Chain A
Amino acid sequence: MIHMLDYHLNRNSYGRMVLTIASNPTEKEVVPVRAFPISNPLQAIALVDMQGYELAWIDSLAKLPQDFRELIEDELASREFIPEIKRIVKLSSFITPVTWFVETDRGNTDFVLKGEEDIRRLSTSSLMIADQYGVCFLIKNRAMLDHHSRKLLDHFL
């Protein structure tokens, strides 16, 4: 296992993130993976190669040099897609499968919820809703939604 900074990170000409170890000049394509994407997104990040083997481990992003950190954050941002639901406009019915029409921080959309079990409570106030394809929608704080949205959401809790 390679720990802090005996490696180098940069983007290759294909736009992929590559990792070079000091002892070995070959570049290896890597992707950053958050170990705890929900409970602890800013710490515990692994750099794994295309075969899924872990090449480097980052305890905390804050401890990395500026350029590495930006590179990783950039890469993570391009891979992660968790729209945050700001408002629930309407529901097609109250019995699953049900189509949700929502306003998110990434624009308005609709998705299909297969069953109540796809709504996952992250904490008492926050929820994560997975649609039929596994795309996750986040509700950061239930209490911050408007009255109408809360009433609709309540049918599924």
Chain B
Amino acid sequence: MNYLPTYWNDELSSQLACGEIVLVSVRIELNTQLQFVEGIVAVTSQRLMAKMHGDEAWQNWHFHDDLRLVQRDHAGIGFLELLDAHKRIAYWRYRFGGDAIKELIECFAQQRKLHAPNDSNSFLHSVTQDQIPNKNSVQELSGFLADSESIEKATSTWNLLRLWRFAKPYKGRLLIGFLLTLCSTAATLVPPYLTMPLMDNVLIPYQNGEPINTELATFYLSGLLAAAVIAWILGWTRTYMLARVSERIGADLRTTTYEHLLGLSHDYFGGKRTGDLMARIGTETDRINLFLSLHLLDFATDVIMIVMTAIILFSINPWLALVTLAPLPIIAWLIHLVRDRLRIGFEKVDRIWAEVNNVLADTIPGIRVVKAFAQEKRESERFRAANLRNLQINDRVNKIWSLFTPTVTLLTEIGLLVVWVFGIWQISHDEITVGVLTAFLAYIGRFYLRLDSMSRIVSITQKAAAGTKRIFDILDHQSSIPESKNPISFKTTQGRIELQNVSFRHGTRSITDNVSLTIESGEMVGLVGHSGSGKSTLVNLICRFHDVTEGAILIDGYDLRSLSIADYRRHIGLVLQEPFLFYGTIADNIAYGKPTATWSEIVEAARAAHAHEFILRLPHGYDSIVGERGQTLSGGERQRISIARALLINPRILILDEATSSVDTATEKEIQKALENLVQGRTTIAIAHRLSTLRKANRLVVLDCGKIVEIGSHTELMAREGFYYRLYQAQARNIDTEDTTTTNSSTEHSSSGEYK
């Protein structure tokens, strides 16, 4: 494995003895004082070599038995240490990333064991075999690169072009819409043209003493009417048609974004705030939609109109046309000037708006905490602050913005004036007729009016582009748990779970470290340990909410990553500490994992979960509405509904993540009974804080700091008097005191477990 740029490679190879080869070499970017200096550490077939940039000579250590190479890391910065039996010989610092250092250490250890430098070829072979490409790290790396790229590429209007992906299915209708726009715009340009002959052939001769030519006047006037009617019909059809299309594009965009969002992994949601995501899918898509259906359409019409008008004006009189169109470049320049400032401003407005939303999304679900700690005032301050910032930034944007429109209007007036002056001069020289000047004035009257509204497109486009970027931020984000290319469909399972040297790190923090465990089909395993010992992480890995960083999880001998995710999860029943009920009837909630369930299946599951009788007591039985704004249920009741939900899908693998820890002991007994029904014949992994709830488990796995420290049944572990024994003793003491208090306060408990 080689991670080096060529200049280091050259230097390294110049150091090698005859027959010596480099097995692993790693470039490190930090020196021991944690300054950015390049360096290199390499394991060859004979020794460990290292050199920092600026060092005179290479450091060498030949393999011998005492030498050990170890690493530890903290907050993304690693320590690589070379130790012998007594002391540290050398150490290096490095920035975390990839598995290079780990490979280096493994290679070093193996070389030391081999000890004989001649055998390097066979070793090399074994190293390459070990190089299972780690999908996850590659994924992360490329994700990181994409991120930094998108940071560099500021919001550009070109983002809007990416919407083409959504417009493509409607291209036929869009083309018709465009043609209609062309025609209707042309139709609106006919009336001013007709004023020219009307003036010259009817009105001026009349002023000069000739009678009005009624026939001609009628002809021109009916032409005017016809043009107006045609423009009206065409305008109406094209607006309706394009609005329909854009509404569909917007709907597609929204659905696609939401679907993509649902496909993203657990991690993504952990790092995002609900308010922000909701704003993106709701408000932003609406804004884009409005932009497409209204503003873009208007803008296109305007541009077509300007081009057509320009052509007509030039065909009538090039000189006058030139003067008329002169302010156009000035306005274009002005638009460009303001554009940049407005763009930054609007991006800020968006961000602030998301922040206002976030305050709401934080506070409203947590209202009980807010009230309990009497922090209403602080929360309203927080909201006020966010709102104030919103105000300030809007004020700043409006300052530029408000100057913009009047300036355009002023230029319009000046432009008109210029046309008057030049036109009168030309008439006095008999170069044009009065009719021509009238037509010009009629044209540019509209023309400048459009320019005014066109200037508005700048800000709207910027807003839409910013919105598009925020939407595509979601769409561009790849799930960190990719579906396998050829997923193995997974219809039935034995439920045998095998963890092989599983490690998981979150960012730079190592959470699970080299865990190996086999859970037989139908076995119940309890995970025990302090909070933060990696129990929930292990469960998340088994559910494939995250992918392992190293090692593999096998289900019935298949690597989890090769299975179809949806197929696999269909076999998992999950009961969480905080049961989540969706807005809907109880029956719907129980049947969430199997919408086709019959009523008798639902009742059966509820009975087994000991939920049936309390459900019957509700005013509408199984048809009662629960969830947000729904029927109030206690924590234990909601838990039992979620157990019924897990029971109904009849999963082979059952995961109980602190399923009973949020309820009082009386309710726990009730739930425990329900769980006993659930556990029958299924592979079960239970996490429980109260060790007493795990008595039924075949084996207990004791975790500490992400490692397995003990495995065995309750009696075995108690006899061993190890980690579990101490944990149990400590809890037994607590429970003695807790029991006396809970019996007194059990009523209080259940009310505090209530939903609202």
Q: Does B616 contact A (CB under 8 A)?
A: yes
Q: Does A14 contact B (CB under 8 A)?
A: no
User: Are A39's CB and B613's CB within 8 A?
Assistant: no
Number of interface residues of A (CB under 8 A): 19
Name the residue of chain A whose CB is nearest to the CB of B617: A52
Q: Which of B112-120, B533-541, B618-626 touches A?
A: B618-626
User: Are B599's CB and A35's CB within 8 A?
Assistant: yes
Q: Does A23 contact B (CB under 8 A)?
A: no
> CB-CB < 8 A to A59: which residues of B?
600
Q: Does A85 contact B (CB under 8 A)?
A: no
> CB-CB < 8 A to B623: which residues of A?
36-39
Known A40-B599, A44-B603; judge A34-B621 contact (CB<8 A): yes
> CB-CB < 8 A to B506: which residues of A?
none
Q: How far is the CA of A59 from the CA of B603 in the complex (A)?
A: 11
Q: How far is the CA of A46 from the CA of B599 in the complex (A)?
A: 13
Q: CB within 8 A of B616: which of A39, A54, A117, A120?
A: A54
Known A43-B599, A44-B603; judge A35-B617 contact (CB<8 A): no
Encode contact with B along A115-134: 1 for CB under 8 Å, 0 otherwise: 00100100000000000001
Tell me the residues in window 22-59 of chain A with beta carbons closer than 8 Å to chain B beta carbons.
Answer: 33-40, 43-44, 46, 48, 52-54, 59
Known A48-B613, A53-B613, A54-B613; judge A35-B619 contact (CB<8 A): no
Q: How far is the CA of A53 from the CA of B616 in the complex (A)?
A: 9
Known A43-B599, A44-B600; judge A35-B615 contact (CB<8 A): yes
> CB-CB < 8 A to A35: which residues of B?
599, 603, 615-616, 621-622
User: Are B600's CB and A33's CB within 8 A?
Assistant: no
> CB-CB < 8 A to B612: which residues of A?
46, 54
The binding surface of chain B is classed by DSSP as helix
Q: How far is the CA of A36 from the CA of B599 in the complex (A)?
A: 8
> CB-CB < 8 A to B620: which residues of A?
37-38
Q: How far is the CB of B608 from chain A (nearest CB, A)?
A: 12
Tell me the residues in window 126-147 of chain A with beta carbons closer than 8 Å to chain B beta carbons.
Answer: 134
Tell me the residues in window 51-89 of chain A with beta carbons closer than 8 Å to chain B beta carbons.
Answer: 52-54, 59
Name the residue of chain A whose CB is nearest to the CB of B583: A117
Q: How far is the CA of A54 from the CA of B606 in the complex (A)?
A: 13
User: Are A33's CB and B616's CB within 8 A?
Assistant: yes
Name the residue of chain B whose CB is nearest to the CB of A118: B629
Q: Does B587 contact A (CB under 8 A)?
A: yes
Q: How far is the CB of B621 from chain A (nearest CB, A)?
A: 5
Encode contact with A along B412-423: 1 for CB under 8 Å, 0 otherwise: 000000000000
Q: How far is the CA of A134 from the CA of B620 in the complex (A)?
A: 11
> CB-CB < 8 A to A117: which residues of B?
629
> CB-CB < 8 A to B621: which residues of A?
33-37
Name the residue of chain B whose CB is nearest to the CB of A33: B616
Tell me the residues in window 592-641 of chain B with beta carbons closer than 8 Å to chain A beta carbons.
Answer: 599-600, 603, 612-617, 619-623, 625, 629
The 4 A-B pairs with the shortest beta carbon distances in the complex, nearest first, are A38-B623, A35-B621, A33-B616, A36-B622
27 A–B contacts from the bound complex (CB under 8 Å): A35-B599, A35-B603, A35-B616, A36-B587, A36-B599, A36-B621, A36-B622, A36-B623, A37-B623, A39-B585, A39-B587, A40-B599, A43-B599, A44-B600, A44-B603, A46-B616, A48-B616, A48-B617, A52-B614, A52-B616, A52-B617, A53-B613, A54-B612, A54-B613, A54-B616, A117-B629, A120-B625
Q: Which B residues lie at the A interface, using CB under 8 A? A: 585, 587, 599-600, 603, 612-617, 619-623, 625, 629
Q: Which A residues lie at the B interface, using CB under 8 A? A: 33-40, 43-44, 46, 48, 52-54, 59, 117, 120, 134
With A33-B616, A38-B623, A53-B613 given, name 16 new contacts (CB 8 A): A33-B621, A35-B599, A35-B615, A36-B621, A36-B623, A37-B623, A39-B585, A39-B599, A44-B599, A44-B603, A46-B612, A46-B616, A52-B613, A54-B612, A117-B629, A120-B625
